[in-house]
Amino acid sequence: MASLHVNTLSLGDPFRDWLVEEVVGHRLKNKNCSVDVFKYKSSHTVCRYHFKGEHFSVMAKFFAEPTGQLKDYNPYKGMVNEYLNLKKAASVINVAKPLAINKKFNCALVTEHIPGKSLAWYFSHEEKLYEKLAAVAHMLRHLHEHTKSSYNKEKEFGNYHEVLDHLKLDSNIRETFNRLLGQWWYSPLLNREYGCMVHRDVTPSNYIFCKGQPYALDFESSWFHAHPVRDLGILTAEIKNEFELHRGGGWKAEPYIGNFLWEYSSDEKDFNYITEILPFFMSIGLLRSARLHRGDYRNYLIKEARECLEAINKR
């Protein structure tokens, strides 16, 4: 992810001094060092703080400084929620570990900085993509298997309707989605005994490879009591979207999607189960992307999402 150098903090700056004195001072040889600040493009102000001469950085996300469309929310609650989600996930998989939170500094969450290349980088270069997607699949499987809980089917459908509400679709199109969702609701396909923790924001930029190992970032929107295939559906939608926009057609993504799902699956029976219900969650991923686009491409994504739901009629 690209960043821009925006500032250098010296001894006496309140945020820099808090980082040094209370968060990472035990890792620094020179506690008087200056700190370079690099800003990233994100839905909030997100910066990397590099301690000069120490070969060490941390990341900070400021929840009271939203930069995206969503601005009407509780930043303190968001900060605490992601901190706790990261703590939970860190007990199971590699994540950017949370180091501290501070309401005083615009609801700042400080985490480890994970150096390396993102999954998005491997997408854009189409380099070792099978291998990297397999690693993410194994990590997601581990997260889902080790955070089992009760399952809230109503929450899954409620969120689908929230996404549709946000898109403000034509009444006829919305009615088509409502009808198809009703068919999925009354089908036994999405019934299950247990749910789990899901990352939920499974975008290629939220996975970093460091020393060959994948690390997950950004657990602000993570859920519990969720269907594990939600994460798979979001990422497969992202893969298809990437190939449709930049690689000559979404159909070219199919070998990568098939291999990713196979790597996640425990056996052939599990693979068949996942592929049967994947269209429901993949359609959510496509509609999430549609919120970011306008015109013909937005319409294409909505059409693809509807066609995914129509898989219920092909059983």
Residue 1: its pLDDT value, please?
Answer: 66
The predicted structure's pLDDT at residue 198? 98
Q: Give the residue from 214, 273, 286 showing the smallest Cα distance to 245.
A: 286
The tokens for 56 are: 């060490």
**Cα–Cα–Cα angle for 158, 161, 163, rounded to 5 degrees:** 115
Cα gap 315→63, rounded to integer Å:
44
pTM for the whole structure: 0.93
Q: Tens digit of pLDDT for each residue in 223-265?
A: 999 999 999 999 999 999 999 998 888 899 999 999 999 999 9
Alpha carbons 107 and 101: distance in angstroms, whole number? 7
CA 302/CA 164 separation, integer angstroms: 10
Contact present, 63 and 75 (Cβ < 8 Å)? yes
Q: Give the containing element (helix H, strand E) for 48.
A: strand 44-51
Fold of 117-314: Aminoglycoside 3'-phosphotransferase; Chain: A, domain 2 (3.90.1200)
Q: Which two tokens stand for residue 83?
A: 């901190």
Question: Bridge-partner residues for 117, per DSSP?
Answer: 209
DSSP string, 152-207: -HHHHHHHHHHHHHHHT--HHHHHHHHHHHHHHHHSGGG--S-BEEE-----GGGE
209: burial class by Cβ within 10 Å (0-12, 13-18, 19+)? buried
CB 89 within 8 A of CB 222: yes
Local structure of 114: helix, strand or coil:
coil
Question: In the numeric block, which tokens belong to residue 265?
Answer: 């699956």
Mean per-residue pLDDT over the chain, rounded: 94
Query: What's the CA dihedral at 216, 201, 98, 103 to 10 degrees?
Result: 160
The pLDDT tens digits of the residues spanning 32-76 come to 999 999 999 888 899 999 999 998 999 999 999 987 666 667 999
Q: Which of 200, 207, 20 is nearest to 118 (CA)?
A: 207
Give me the mean pLDDT over the 101-118 stretch. Answer: 96
How does DSSP classify residue 248? S
Q: How confident is the model at residue 161 (pLDDT cuts 50, 70, 90)?
A: very high
Higher-confidence residue of 40 and 136: namely: 136
Give tens-digit pLDDT for 268-296: 999 999 999 999 999 999 999 999 899 99
Give me the residue spans of the domains in the chain. Answer: 3-112, 117-314
Rounded CA separation 299/105 (Å): 41
Q: SS3 for 47?
A: strand
Helix 295-309 and helix 229-246, axial crossing angle in degrees, nearest 10: 140
The one-character DSSP state at 113 is -
- Please give the Cα distance from 106 to 205 (Å, whole number): 24
